[in-house]
Amino acid sequence: MRYIFLIALREFAENAKTKGFWIGIFTLPLIIALSIGVSTKLSKSEPSRYFVVVDKSGAFAEPIERSIEWQYQRSVLQALSDYVQENLRPGQQPDVDLATHQTAVDTFIAAGGKDAYLARLKPALRENAPGFTEPTRPFVRVDLPRDIDAAAGSEDILAMLKPYLLGERKIAIEGGEAPLFAAVLLAPDAVDGATRWTGPEAIQYWSTNLAVNNLPDQIRDALNSETRRRLYVARGVDVSTVRGIEATYARLGTFDPGKAEGQETVSTADRIARNVPVALVYVLWISLFTIMQMLLSNTIEEKSNRIAEVLLSSVTPNEIMMGKLFGIAAIGLTMVTAWLATVIIGAQVYGGAGGAGAEVIGQAVDSVVASGLLPMFLLCFLLGYLIYAGLFLSIGALCNDLKEAQNLQGPMMLIMMVPLFTMVFINRDPHGTLATILTWIPLYTPFTMMNRAAADPPLGELIGATLLMIATALLLLWSAGKILRMAMLRAGNRPKFAEILQWIRGRGDA
Amino acid sequence: MAIVRNTKGETVNDTVLELENVSKRFGEFHAVREVSLAIPRGSIYGFLGPNGAGKTTTIRMIFDIIKPTSGRIAILGASSALDVRSRIGYLPEEKGLYKAMTAAATVAYFASLKGLSRKAAKQRARTLLERYGLGEFADTRIQALSKGMGQKVQVLCAVAHEPEFVVLDEPFSGLDPVNQQVLEKLIRDLSLLGSTVLFSTHVMQHAERLCDRLLLIAKGRKIFDGTVAGAKGTIPRRVLISTESSVEPLAALDAVAEIKPLGESATLAGTKDWEIRLRAQTGAQDSAQAILESCFRSGIVLRRFDQSEPSLHDAFVALVGAGAHAGTQAGAQKGEAA
């Protein structure tokens, strides 16, 4: 046992002492945090985009502008809702409806927008809450550039707008110039033409950037709404009645029968917890294969540097193997613990700002802890580790150098990618055919079980899969022990598969 | 068997290693054939043999790294080296260390694997590195050391726990003459401390200078086991001469057993070298004198007359040559047993 401990300690120290190890550990959460932070920041700081509307029909310019403004007010309300969540005094409830369905937005606009709401919300907010910054307007309608005659024909106007649309010329805006993002051209017969699906389009959207869908979508909504309004009027239907009916928003409560009575409501925290298995599968995958690389390179180092022989004069092959297993497992656990600690500390720091957002995170963490996912993660990590360690130790012992190992690893990598490709599907359908099949393939069992854990898989399958993992791990480690004993001192040609089988059966010469 | 006490006052056997008819086969290839030997405590034992003779295989069996096909091995009285691992040390022929570890950490690690406490191992590592000229490199990583320095570190790894019995497989290879001397000193130090040392080498001068006894194997068979003088004694005593004249008249002398032509002299143009083997019964000095007198009488013009003792090198070549003829032609077909 002393020897196993010494070997494990060396393996641990060798890896834990390197800067690369710790950089690697903290890079992952950092990259994830940064990518979330940066994408949120980027989406918030996106500049406004300017468009012109050339409405020869005179029917749509105003509805389009109204629709764009409504959408903007909705995003203000959403931002306000986020702001309130972050800055709400604990225990307080906002006395205004911060949902973003149609009626709520209409009420918000009718009440006077953000200033009115902020005044009413102030008492419920923390005293040191920062000021609310409203989001920038994503789309702003501007007039035609001055050198274009609005009275000219659509064709002429389009021809003159093209240099602007292509970025060759800039339009004047308040305090400077900006590129023209899009132009909407409406023909004189646009009202009838809107619903005509043959011949040239009466309403045209021109832009070099067709990847941005929001603007044409919002314009389409405005066109539909206005066209329908006109049809209602033409048929003598009372528009305000119809609009009132259209604004109806049905309420659907979501419940989980697996939860305790009285707490069946599915909350935001629950939704976060529901997605935690996928995150844990990902963590499991990254941590396992990071440490497998260490195990592989350490084993190869001992073989190619001829350290094995000195070691074998002091310790048995089994002691070497066990020492390595413990040492590298400790490295893996350190890595995973560091990641989890980063998440928890990150949540604390975020929670330190107070407010309902932190509360949701806190509830999500509680929900994960209560769900038994962490013990399941530990079980899958350890058994998955032993299974893959058995394979990688054998590969390491059989190869003369890292290059040879990489050749052998190629097909292994492909096999190992499967859990990554399938994890989202398994999470979506945890008892489906794919999930069931992968549960019974030992190499994938740890990942699949981890993924299915939150959905309460049948107990029989749980026990069966655990036993399968244990049996596979034992078999692979036992074989690895045999291979290690035979292969560590052997140089030159890699042994043939039949020869390896002989070793495992215990019929080798040594 | 004599009763001997070790440094701790415990009663110990006076033989540290005993091999009894040990053989090792790899498939059809006989790497070692029925080798028997006994190494007495306190000796410096040279383990000689040509490449592929089975030295490393024998050593690996001694350390229970591979199992003999047949025969019995007792090391410090135990049947497996692992049972006495804290009392034995081993420097393999193929040397290697963990590249990212420092010299001190490496020596300490292997010493701790041999039973020293981690604290004692660290102290011992520093002391040894200091003593054998590597003090300033104690905290240098192995990958930054020269090959020779790395090899010295590995030798220290093998002896840091002050083993009773050390096996050094080719310890001198790759070392410069200065470091070879340092290593010779280390081996003598070990011997002074009471350790028994078995080392293999191709360099006969080292064996001649250091060894009390020699073990010589070729093609897996033991062909000699005894003292250095004994090894030299296996070569027939002879006188070497170079001359342009006929050596016919010398054949009639009582002291001469045989005259072997060695061909054209490499150094003296136009002369031929001869080896004149002497009869064992007469003293070497008397025989040489008789040959010299006979040369004068017969008018043999001597360009060289060499009656110096044969070296261990000559003995090695002669013994291995004889062993090769005696052995079967199984030969070194495989590299595995090198």
Strand partners, B25: B30
State how far residue A9 is from chain B, nearest Cα, in angstroms: 10
Under a CB-based contact definition with an 8 Å cutoff, are residues A94 and A121 in contact? yes
Residue B336: list chain A partners with CB under 8 A: 490
Predicted local distance difference test score (pLDDT) of residue B8: 55
Which amino acid makes up residue B268? Answer: L
Neighbour-count burial of A346, counting CB atoms closer than 10 A to its CB (0-12 exposed, 13-18 middle, 19+ buried): middle
Contacts of A117 (CB under 8 A, 6+ apart): A77, A80, A96, A108, A111
* Mean pLDDT taken over chain B: 82
B1 pLDDT more than 50:
no
Q: What percent of chain B stands above pLDDT 70?
A: 90
- The CA distance from A441 to A410, in Å, is 20
**Structural domain boundaries in chain A:** 2-35+275-505, 47-246
Kindly report the CA angle at A69 between A64 and A70, in degrees rounded to 5? 95
Chain B: closest CA distance from residue A431 (Å): 48
A60 against B202, higher pLDDT = A60
pLDDT at res. A96: 80
Residue B143: closest C-alpha in chain A = A305
Q: CATH number for B4-232: choose from 1.20.210.10, 3.40.50.300, 3.40.50.10420, 3.90.230.10.
A: 3.40.50.300
Q: Is A402 on the interface with B (CB under 8 A)?
A: no
In angstroms, the Cα distances linking B204 to A349, B32, B216 are 73, 22, 12
What average pLDDT score do residues B86-110 get?
A: 88
Residue A73 near residue A109, CB atoms below 8 Å = yes
A401 vs B: CB within 8 A: no
Kindly report the nearest CA distance between residue A30 and chain B, in angstroms: 28
Per-domain boundaries in chain B: 4-232, 237-306
Contact A509 B25 (CB under 8 A): yes
> In one letter, which amino acid is B6?
N
Would an 8 Å CB–CB cutoff place B237 in contact with chain A?
no
Start-to-end C-alpha separation, chain A:
25
Across B148-178, b (16+ Cβ under 10 Å) vs e yields bbbbbbbbbbbbbbbbbbbbbbbbbeebeee
Residue B204 has pLDDT above 70, yes or no: yes
| H or E stretch covering A86 | helix A61-87
Tell if the CB–CB gap between A306 and B92 is shorter than 8 Å: yes
Q: Which of A74-78, B32-36, B281-285 has the lowest mean pLDDT?
A: B281-285
What average pLDDT does this structure show over B254-261?
A: 82
What residues contact residue A56 under an 8 Å CB cut-off, 6+ apart?
A: A154, A185, A186, A187, A188, A190
Q: Are B45 and B331 in contact (CB under 8 A)?
A: no
pLDDT in tens, A87-103: 878 777 777 878 878 88
pLDDT of residue A183: 93
Which chain B residues contact residue A311 at CB under 8 A? 113
Cβ-defined contact of A301 to B94 (cutoff 8 Å): no
> Mapped to the 3 state alphabet, what secondary structure does chain B carry?
CCCEECCCCCEECCEEEEEEEEEEEECCEEEEEEEEEEEECCCEEEEECCCCCCHHHHHHHHCCCCCCCEEEEEECCECCHHHHHHHEEEECCCCCCCCCCEHHHHHHHHHHHCCCCHHHHHHHHHHHHHHCCCHHHCCCEHHHCCHHHHHHHHHHHHHCCCCCEEEEECCCCCCCHHHHHHHHHHHHHHHHCCCEEEEECCCHHHHHHHCCEEEEEECCEEEEEEEHHHHHHCCCCEEEEEECCCCHHHHHCCCEEEEEEEEECCCCCCCEEEEEEECCCCCHHHHHHHHHHHHHHHCCCEEEEECCCCCHHHHHHHHHHHHHHHCCCCCCCCCCCC
The whole-number pLDDT of residue B338 equals 32
Q: Does B80 touch chain A (CB under 8 A)?
A: no
Among residues of chain A, what percentage have pLDDT more than 70?
89
Q: Lowest-confidence range among A28-32, A224-228, A415-419?
A: A28-32
Chain A residues whose beta carbon lies within 8 Å of the beta carbon of residue B70: none
Looking at residue A485, what DSSP letter applies?
Answer: H
> Strands B15-26, B70-75: parallel, antiparallel or unpaired by DSSP?
antiparallel
Q: Which residues of B touch A510 (CB under 8 A)?
A: 66-67
* Cα dihedral A456, A459, A460, A462 sign: positive
For residue range B151-172, what is the model confidence (pLDDT) as tens digits?
889 899 998 888 999 999 888 8
* pTM, full prediction: 0.70
Check: CB of residue A468 under 8 Å from CB of residue A445.
yes
pLDDT category at B332 given cuts 50, 70, 90 is very low
Of A313, A489, A510, the CB nearest to B90: A313
Which chain A residues are Cβ-neighbours of B154 within 8 angstroms? Answer: 310
Nearest to A373 by CA among A288, A456, A260: A456
Contact residues, B window 94-133, toward A, CB-based 8 Å cutoff = 94-101, 109-110, 112-114
Compute the distance between CA of residue A217 and CA of residue A508 in angstroms, rounded to an integer.
72
Tell me which of A157-166, A362-371, A464-473, B234-243 is least confident: A362-371
DSSP H or E run through A184: strand A180-186
C-alpha to C-alpha distances, A188 to A112, A193, B315, nearest whole angstrom: 35, 9, 117
Beta bridge partners of B74: B18
Output the six-digit token pair for B285: 């000095």
A6, A309, A311 member nearest B112 (Cβ): A6
pLDDT reading at B92 higher than 60: yes
Q: List the structure tokens of B158.
A: 């093998």
CATH for B237-306, options being 3.30.200.20, 3.40.50.300, 3.30.70.60, 1.10.10.10: 3.30.70.60
- Residue B48 to chain A, least CA–CA distance (Å): 21
Distance, CA of B80 to CA of B84 (rounded, Å): 7
Between A510 and A67, name the one with better pLDDT.
Answer: A67
Judged by CB atoms closer than 8 Å, whether chains meet at A305 and B96 is answered as: yes
Chain A within 8 Å of B147 (Cβ-Cβ)? no
Residues of B in contact with A301 (CB under 8 A): 98-99
Interface test with A, best of B57, B76, B90, B94 (most A CBs within 10 A): B94
Residue B96 to residue A307, Cβ atoms within 8 A: yes
The rounded percent of chain B whose pLDDT value lies above 90 is 15
Residues in chain B closer than 8 A to A492 (CB atoms): 335
Q: Looking at beta carbons, which residues of chain B come within 8 Å of A6?
A: 109, 112-113
Cross-chain residue pair B65–A309, CB shorter than 8 Å: yes
Q: Which residues contact B100 (CB under 8 A, 6 or more apart)?
A: A14, A18, B141, B142, B143
Q: Check whether A131 has a pLDDT greater than 90.
A: no
How do B221-227 and B88-91 pair as beta strands?
unpaired
What is the structure's pLDDT at B336?
35
SS3 A401: coil
Measure in Å the smallest separation between the Cα of B265 and chain A Cα atoms. 44
Mean per-residue pLDDT for A18-40?
79
pLDDT given for residue B268 in this prediction: 77
Q: How far is CA A240 from CA A113, A237, A246, B1, in A?
A: 22, 9, 10, 119
Q: Is it the case that residue B252 has pLDDT exceeding 90?
A: no
Beta-carbon count within 10 A of A57 CB: 17
- Minimum mean pLDDT among A145-154, A356-365, B51-60, B166-175: which range? A356-365
**Inter-chain contact A312–B88, Cβ cutoff 8 Å?**
no
Is residue B108 pLDDT above 90, yes or no? yes
Does B81 contact chain A (CB < 8 Å)? yes
Is residue A284 within 8 Å of A384, Cβ to Cβ? yes
**Length of chain A, in residues:** 510
| pLDDT at B105 > cutoff 90 | yes
pLDDT, one tens digit per residue, over A195-242 is: 888 888 889 999 988 888 889 999 998 999 899 999 999 999 888 888
**Average of per-residue pLDDT across A100-125:** 86
